[in-house]
Amino acid sequence: MLEVGTKAPEFTLFDQDGNEVSLKDFKGKKVVLYFYPKDSTPGCTKQACAYQSSINEFINKDVKVIGISKDSIKSHKNFSTKQGLEFTLLSDPDLIAIQAYDVWKEKKLYGKVSMGVVRSSYLINEDGIIEKAYEKVKPDTNATDMLKDLD
């Protein structure tokens, strides 16, 4: 995990519509950057839907919500459409942002060790500084925890 108070690493990735998106595009706005393992899995769907159900609260606070995984643009588009997501999903197949934000870790599942994205989230302030950092977040409470931090 990156430290609170440090500069958020810059990145440029493609969203679910094939548009280039850079962190610098949101200078002057707060950004919730959440990293998740895989589109259309139970936990990731629960997390995305929790953000979607709170999206108006984030919009009212002038906060941009961005989800990042290593899934393809097409996978993000299908996931976004199926779940009715109104926020940005970024495709990071080359692990550019995933590694820069230190969320690519060794994971153990049923005794098997592999590398993967640890479900994590960051709150980045208007100047691009990390205000909050959460590792191993719970999919169903991550969005409400972030909203509490914004109050």
Task: Please state, as a whole number, how many other Cβ atoms lie within 10 Å of the Cβ of residue 49.
Answer: 16
First to last CA, the chain: 23
**Residue from 8, 23, 31, 44 carrying the catalytic annotation:** 44
Task: Give me the domains of the chain, ranges plus CATH numbers.
Answer: 12-150 (3.40.30.10)
Q: Has 44 been annotated as catalytic?
A: yes
Q: pLDDT of 68-89, one tens digit each?
A: 999 999 999 999 999 999 999 9
pTM confidence score: 0.94
pLDDT for residue 126? 96
Q: 35, exposed or middle or buried, with CB in 10 Å at 0-12, 13-18, 19+?
A: buried
